[in-house]
Each structure stands twice: as structure tokens, then as C-alpha cells.
């Protein structure tokens, strides 16, 4: 009985997760699907074909992927030392450091964006890819630091000391001990950064000034265009990379998670 309801709950959960995607699939290939027709009455592949052949879409896709990858890499690079210190050391002013790192998640992004835009305009960074990447670091860094510091609070530094005693160089210890141990955490933190950067609209618009056309910008303009087929087609394209990345890394994470747990 208990098992049965668990199964039903599980199906229900999957249903909720998959339903929007199914709807997008239906809309992306349907033509003039209006109320009160329960199912599409005519099918078309024109919009999807046109979208895939549109250089704007492909360049938007690659720019988005490029920005999100760079942002996740940079936020790991910057977040790593901060997270390690905050996660494994107790020191005066730790709370204040936490507060400063978390401010961007509390302050509305519009305020941050407007302020940054004025600063970047003076520095000549607005409208550039560099500026957009820097701006994306603002909302991504807190999440990277938070995730990684959790990893470091459970991290046993004695492994490093042991390697040091055995005569390893600092660099070698970093790559063979530290990185290996926190690797699953790194992946999760990187994933967070990727997803947050991937879905940025406001900051890209403010800092990019319409010159940096990412996928969310194209999606917003399609939504204002009001054609449900185009909106659905672009949405599918927008959803695809994160889903693929999560699917690929989830399997990987579960395996690593198990091995880590076995160690303790």
C-alpha cells in the first residue's frame, strides 16, 4: 500500500517535470493551435527548420554556451580559495566575509545591473563580452562559494599533510589530492554557475546593451512576438544544453558520491 502510493507519487512527479517539455514539443511543431482544439490540428516543421538555419540563433547558442562556460570556470577559480578559507577556517570577521559574499543575492539584480552599467560605461566595458562575463560573476559567485564551502567544511586537510610528509610538491598535492577529493563538489558548483549564467537576461541586456545577443535575449524577443510555435521552438533549444549537461554529470556525480561515502 505504502509502496503503491510512492509509485503514484513518483509518476505524478515525473509528470509535472515532463509536462512542460511535452507541451513545448507539441507547440514547436504545430500550426495555428488555438482554443478550443484539444490537440494541434495541423503540423509544420517550418519554424524549427527556419530557427536552426538562422545564423542569429546559432550564434546566440554558441555565445550563451561560451559565456556560461567561462563564467563557471572563472567563478570556480575565484570561489575556490574563498570557499576553502570560509569552509575550513574559523577566524575573526568570518561572518562579515560571508555577508559580503552573499550581498549580491539579497540586493535586487536590477540595482546591481544599473550600478554596474554606469561603472562599465566609464571603463568602456559595457557592450563587450568581457563586461557581460564580469557581470554574470556577480550572481554566480555566491552560489559557487556556498556550495564549495560546504564541501570544504567536511574536507579533511590531513590527506594533504600526509602527501606533504611523503614528499609531494604543493602543486602535485593540489592536483592529485585536493582536486580529486573535492571534484564532485566542484562539478556541482560549476553546474550552478553554468545554470545561473545560462538563464541571465537582465544583466546581459543591461551590460551587453543589445550588442551581445544571447539565447535568453532571443527568447524574450520571440515571446514579445507572440507566435507560440517560435516561442516553443526556441524554448526547446534553450532547455536542451542544461538538460544534457545535468543528465551527463548526474550519473557521474552519483558514482563519485558513492566512492566518497565509502571512504568515510
Binding site for another protein (CB under 8 A): 31-32, 34-36, 44, 50, 66, 69-70, 73, 128-130, 175, 179, 210, 221-222, 224-227, 229-230
The distance of closest approach from Cβ of residue 203 to another protein in the complex, given in angstroms and rounded to an integer, is 17
CA atoms within 13 A on the CB side of 238: 22
Nearer to another protein, 106 or 171 (CB): 171
Nearer to another protein, 76 or 116 (CB): 76
Report the run of H or E that residue 30 belongs to, with start and end. strand 30-31
The distance of closest approach from Cβ of residue 47 to another protein in the complex, given in angstroms and rounded to an integer, is 8
Nearer to another protein, 223 or 246 (CB): 223
Nearer to another protein, 70 or 83 (CB): 70
The distance of closest approach from Cβ of residue 56 to another protein in the complex, given in angstroms and rounded to an integer, is 9
Residue 156 is placed in which grid cell? 579533511
Residue 88 is placed in which grid cell? 575550513
Nearer to another protein, 116 or 134 (CB): 134
Length of the chain: 264
Q: What is the DSSP letter of 212?
A: S
214 to each of 50, 140, 166, 211, 253, how far by Cα in Å?
18, 17, 49, 9, 29
What spatial distance separates the first Cα and last Cα of the chain, rounded to whole Å? 36
Residue 202 is placed in which grid cell? 537582465
The distance of closest approach from Cβ of residue 34 to another protein in the complex, given in angstroms and rounded to an integer, is 5
The distance of closest approach from Cβ of residue 239 to another protein in the complex, given in angstroms and rounded to an integer, is 20
Amino acid at each position: 500500500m505504502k509502496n503503491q502510493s510512492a509509485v503514484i507519487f513518483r509518476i505524478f512527479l515525473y509528470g509535472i517535470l515532463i509536462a512542460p517539455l511535452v507541451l513545448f514539443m507539441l507547440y514547436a511543431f504545430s500550426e495555428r493551435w488555438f482554443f478550443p482544439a484539444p490537440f494541434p490540428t495541423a503540423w509544420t516543421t517550418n519554424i524549427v527548420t527556419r530557427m536552426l538555419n538562422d545564423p542569429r540563433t546559432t550564434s546566440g547558442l554558441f555565445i550563451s554556451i561560451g559565456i556560461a562556460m567561462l563564467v563557471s570556470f572563472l567563478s570556480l577559480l575565484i570561489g575556490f580559495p574563498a570557499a576553502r578559507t570560509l569552509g575550513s577556517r574559523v577566524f575573526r570577521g568570518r561572518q562579515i566575509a560571508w555577508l559580503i559574499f552573499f550581498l549580491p543575492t539579497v540586493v535586487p539584480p536590477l540595482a546591481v545591473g544599473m550600478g554596474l552599467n554606469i561603472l562599465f560605461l566609464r571603463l568602456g566595458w559595457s557592450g563587450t563580452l568581457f563586461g557581460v562575463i564580469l557581470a554574470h560573476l556577480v550572481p554566480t559567485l555566491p552560489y559557487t562559494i556556498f556550495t564549495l564551502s560546504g564541501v570544504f567544511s567536511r574536507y579533511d586537510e590531513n590527506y594533504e599533510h600526509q602527501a606533504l610528509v611523503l614528499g609531494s610538491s604543493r602543486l602535485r598535492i593540489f592536483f592529485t589530492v585536493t582536486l580529486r577529493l573535492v571534484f564532485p563538489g566542484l562539478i556541482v558548483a560549476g553546474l550552478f554557475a553554468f545554470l545561473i549564467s545560462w538563464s541571465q537576461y537582465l544583466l546581459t541586456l543591461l551590460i551587453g546593451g543589445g550588442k551581445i545577443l544571447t539565447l535568453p535575449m532571443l527568447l524574450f524577443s520571440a515571446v514579445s512576438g507572440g507566435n507560440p510555435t517560435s516561442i516553443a521552438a526556441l524554448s526547446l533549444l534553450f532547455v536542451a544544453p542544461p538538460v544534457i549537461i545535468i543528465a551527463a554529470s548526474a550519473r557521474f556525480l552519483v558514482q563519485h558520491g558513492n566512492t566518497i561515502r565509502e571512504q568515510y
